[in-house]
Amino acid sequence: MLEGAYWPSAAPVDQLVIVFHGNSYNHLVMAARAEPLRIGGRGVLVTSYRGFGDNPGKPSEEGLMRDAEAWIAKARELHPDKRLYLFGFSLGGAVALEMAARHEVEAVATLGAFTDLRSMVPKLARAFVKDRYDNRAAMRRVEEPVLLLHGSEDDVVDPSAAALLEQAGGDNVTVINLRGGKHWVPLDQLAERLWAAMEGKQS
């Protein structure tokens, strides 16, 4: 059984965001960092994957997507009448985009998402990378609103990735460049703006 963290929404709020963490995180770290998304009484479900934290198993692209499917099902079980949103950080952005391509949700947001996993490693090593995490391919299949957040000083994923993902998507994509932001940008600085954008209220 996978470990996660969950804050139910406060009545009468009918919004729940499913949060997918990055490669160097687990659900405990991400829960502390994702708590600002509870703003306005919204619900937050922080997920995790096999091989991360205390969860058994070995990580793989196929395995992470299967775990994400289980979390989507759990969210609908917990609140079948809630409007679901997805948020993914870094590697979790790949998971969130793929889930948005497979499922009907209200919107999906990423922070520090890359174009594909192979672009993240030196050219000589790319032949040995089995997992693809091809976010550009996923973007072409997402019909819901997509919000791409990226720090201008991200030293893990080049900020140009956001523009490339935007090109792969359609008119449903919005990019917010976070001036001075690193790979992770604290969500207490972003929560109101993020929710406004996902709800289509961004001015």
Question: For residue range 142-185, what is the model confidence (pLDDT) as tens digits?
Answer: 999 999 999 999 999 999 999 999 999 989 999 999 999 999 99
CB 27 within 8 A of CB 5: yes
Bond into 145 cis (ω within 30):
no
pLDDT in tens, 92-131: 999 999 999 999 999 999 999 999 987 776 665 556 567 7
Helix, strand, or coil here: 131?
A: coil
pTM tops 0.85, yes or no:
yes
What stretches of the chain show up as alpha helix (H) in DSSP?
Answer: 27-34, 61-78, 91-102, 135-139, 160-168, 191-198
CB 173 within 8 A of CB 144: no
Contacts of 120 (CB under 8 A, 6+ apart): 114, 157
